[in-house]
Every structure is written in structure tokens, then in C-alpha cells.
Amino acid sequence: MMRHAILALNAGSSSIKFGLYDLEPSAELQLVSRGKLDLGDAPRLSAKAADGTVQCDRPLAGDARNAGIDALLDWIESELGGRKLIAAGHRIVHGGCEFVEPVRLTPAVIEGLDRLTPLAPLHQPRSLAPIRTLAALRPDLPQVGCFDTAFHQTIDLIVSRFALPRKYDAEGIRRYGFHGLSYEYIAGRLKEISPALAAKRTIVAHLGNGASLCAMRDGRSVDTTMGFSALDGLVMGTRCGAIDPGVLLYFVLERGITGEALQHMLYEESGLLGISGISGDMRTLEASDDPHAREAVDLFAFRAARETAALANTLGGLECLVFTAGIGERSAPVRMAICERLHWLGVAIDEPSNASHAEIISRPDSKVEIRVVATDEESIIARHTRVQGNA
């Protein structure tokens, strides 16, 4: 029997992560495959089954982005045991004020999303590229867009507003927040673990190459560290995080740096990479003896703790702290450094549980429950795609 499947795509700067899910009638989606299309100098398709078995790992020829998606479709439809794709879902960085829930991607919607490109000039085109490629390759395949900004539509005006002349807020210049699909997944997981846990005043620390925090009450976003752009807030792999706007004025007005060069510096040359001069990759820095690498890791933790305290203020207290994404799930030293700085707030981390990446890493006497939860943006995309794509 031909099985029906949903493809969830999560496009990044140099790769597209994907999840493939079988559609079981009246049941949860079943993960069949999780993988990555590398689009860099050596294009590659790799995929593993839910149990970790390697299903595919091969180089791709030709123009990576188009050929990559073509090869992925071929692989799913011809080699993976007779599956028919019935819908595809995408992570889209920016939904602006208009797109606050998942949406079927018609040509008019795609155009509307393209008009948001000035709000996320580096990320929005990356989100839209695979949608256009898929539309060209499979014009009849329903596609659904899921927005990183949507989860934060619940934040109050006082949190989202910048202290600029007020007309700019009406023009969309305000805090949007990102990583919403990850936060939505975590909110759902906490609820599955226990409704009492989900009701706690919670801060989720999504610490990956991009990094942000989200303050949640009853599973809804009330504050977040990223703002108008994905530059604000925490120190990231290559992004600066929050910075005195006077520094930017100084670069433009006194040093004559162009907007493009400044954009490149803030997004690509700053953060862990900028401070260490070595790498934007936390694993590399943790393995290095260089004092600049140490400084970069220390600043990462300092700023994460500082912003956690700020968000705890928005929440009026803190009862649960969740770590997720590459660094949050796997770096015990970074979790330790952040939690130690938050000890005054009642955060007491248990060293052995932290070292073993246990689910709960707080001490029994900690006022704040500290958890490690693996995020899964693709499963959220697939769930929304099932609903919106009428699959």
C-alpha cells in the first residue's frame, strides 16, 4: 500500500534540515526520517531513521539548492519504500504583523511574504527559496508556511514597543521575536510532562547558533530577547546581540562604514566568533585553551544570565528554566555558568545531573526547576502542515 507522508523543511544559511512523517489516520504523525541537505561547497544529502539508522549519505551534483530539493524528493518518492508526499511545510523566519498563524502558501501569500524581506533581509530569502523550488518542481503539492514570529504575538504592547516616535510602531517597527516554532514545541512538551509544569513562570533558553530566551506564562510568550530582528538579545555564534545603538551610529557617521558592511559585521563577524577570533562554534571554543575563547564563552553565559534576570522581571518571578538547542541541550559547562550567575534568583543546579544531561538538572531544594528539553521544530511544522494542508 502506498503510504502518505508530510515533509517538514527548516531552511538555514548553509543547510536545510528536514523531517519526513508518515500520516497514520487518526493518530500522531510517525517520524520516518530526519536529515539534512548541505548546500555548501560539498552538497550532500544525509538522513537517518527515527532509531538513528543511516538511511542515506551521499554527495549531490549540480546547483545545490534546486538539485538538492529535487534529489530529496526523488529519494523520498522512489527509494524510501513507496511514499507519496501529500504536503510540505516550511519554517519561515518572518510573518510580520499579518501572518500570525500557519498559512497555506498560495502565490499571493508567497508574494506577501516576499514583501517582508526588508524586515529580515538575510533570513527571509532563505526561507522562501525552497518554497519556490518546490512549487516549480511539484506545482500541485500543498505547501504550508509556519512562522518563527507567530508564537510571540501574545506579548503585550509595553514589551513589544520601542521608545521611538510612536508612528513607527504602526509601521511595524517593533519587537517581533523569533525561534517561535522551537518555543511552541517546548511549551507543548512541558504540557505533556505535566499541566502544572506548563503553568509555571518559565524561561526557555534556546541556545544554538542563533540564541534567544522566551518568557512564558501558561505556555504563552510574554517576553523574548530577540526583537525587530534576529540580532537583538543574547551573544550568538556570529551575531552581536543587544548593543548600544550609539555604536552603530558611530560606525556609520564617524567611520563611514556602509550599511552592507555593518550588516555583515553584526550578523557574520561578531558574537562568539568576533570575541574569540577563533570560531563561532561553542564546541570548538570549549575545546580551546586560548584565553580569548574562554572570554567568549564567559561573555555568552554572562549575557544569557543577565537577560534571564530581565525576563524573570517581566514574569514577576521564575519557577522553571528550560535549556534547549545545540548548546542548551549539550553544553554542561555553559548551563552551569549561566545557572551559577542566577543563584540569587533561587536557581540551584545539580552538578552530576547537569554533567549527565539529565531531564531535570536542578537540586531538590532549588526554587527554580531546571530542565533540559530537546527541541523539535520539524515536528511542529509537520503538525501544522497536516492541519493547514488538509492532509
Q: Binding of ligand ADP at residue 208 (CB under 6 A)?
A: yes
Q: Binding of ligand ADP at residue 294 (CB under 6 A)?
A: no
| CA angle in degrees (0–180, nearest 5) for 111-117-123 | 120
Q: Pick between residue 271 and residue 389 the one whose CB is nearest to ligand ADP.
A: 271
CA torsion, points 350, 355, 359, 362, in degrees to nearest 10? 10
Q: Pick between residue 105 and residue 207 the one whose CB is nearest to ligand ADP.
A: 207
Q: What is the DSSP string of 56-72?
A: EEEE--SSHHHHHHHHH
Annotated binding-site members for Mg(2+): 10, 377
DSSP-based three-state secondary structure for 35: strand
Question: Minimum CB separation from ligand ADP for residue 183, in Å?
Answer: 14
Residue 346, sorted as left (phi over 0), alpha (psi -120 to 50) or beta, turns out to be left
Among the listed residues 281, 295, 319, 369, the single contact to ligand ADP using CB under 6 A: 281
DSSP-based three-state secondary structure for 391: coil
Residue 200 φ/ψ, nearest 5 degrees: -70, 155
Q: Binding of ligand ADP at residue 325 (CB under 6 A)?
A: yes
CA terminus-to-terminus distance, the chain:
17
Question: Minimum CB separation from ligand ADP for residue 53, in Å?
Answer: 21
| The C-alpha cell that represents 143 in the structure block | 505547501
Q: Pick between residue 149 and residue 366 the one whose CB is nearest to ligand ADP.
A: 149
Q: Binding of ligand ADP at residue 363 (CB under 6 A)?
A: no
For 314-332, letters b (16+ CB in 10 Å) and e give bbeebbbbbbbbbbbbbbb
Q: Pick between residue 96 and residue 333 the one whose CB is nearest to ligand ADP.
A: 333
Residue 267 φ/ψ, nearest 5 degrees: -90, -35
Question: Minimum CB separation from ligand ADP for residue 211, in Å?
Answer: 8
Annotated catalytic residue 51? no
What count of residues does the chain have? 391
Q: Pick between residue 212 and residue 388 the one whose CB is nearest to ligand ADP.
A: 212
Matching residue, cell 511552541: 184
Q: Which among 2, 10, 16, 18 has a CA at the least distance from the CA of 85?
A: 2
Question: Minimum CB separation from ligand ADP for residue 59, in Å?
Answer: 21
Catalytic residue among 70, 148, 223, 350: 148
Strand duo 220-224 + 143-147: pairing: unpaired
| 365: exposed, middle or buried (Cβ count in 10 Å: 0-12, 13-18, 19+) | exposed
Q: Binding of ligand ADP at residue 12 (CB under 6 A)?
A: yes
- Starting from the edge strand earliest in sequence, which strands make up the sheet with 320-324, in order? 220-224, 211-217, 202-207, 320-324, 369-372
Annotated binding-site members for substrate: 91
Matching residue, cell 516616535: 165
Matching residue, cell 547558533: 209
Q: Binding of ligand ADP at residue 372 (CB under 6 A)?
A: no
Q: Binding of ligand ADP at residue 9 (CB under 6 A)?
A: no
Binding mask 232-251 for ligand ADP (x = CB under 6 A): -----x--------------
Q: Binding of ligand ADP at residue 286 (CB under 6 A)?
A: yes
# chain residues binding ligand ADP, by CB under 6 A: 14
Q: Binding of ligand ADP at residue 273 (CB under 6 A)?
A: no
Annotated binding-site members for ATP: 17, 206-210, 281-283
Strand extents, DSSP E, 184-263? 202-207, 211-217, 220-224
Q: Pick between residue 145 and residue 271 the one whose CB is nearest to ligand ADP.
A: 271
Question: Minimum CB separation from ligand ADP for residue 189, in Å?
Answer: 16
Among the listed residues 45, 72, 266, 282, the single contact to ligand ADP using CB under 6 A: 282
Question: Minimum CB separation from ligand ADP for residue 377, in Å?
Answer: 8
DSSP-based three-state secondary structure for 353: helix
Q: Pick between residue 40 and residue 259 the one whose CB is nearest to ligand ADP.
A: 40
Among the listed residues 60, 88, 304, 327, the single contact to ligand ADP using CB under 6 A: 327
Binding mask 13-52 for ligand ADP (x = CB under 6 A): ----------------------------------------
Residues at the interface with ligand ADP (CB under 6 A): 12, 208-210, 237, 281-283, 286, 325-327, 330-331
- Residues annotated as catalytic are 148
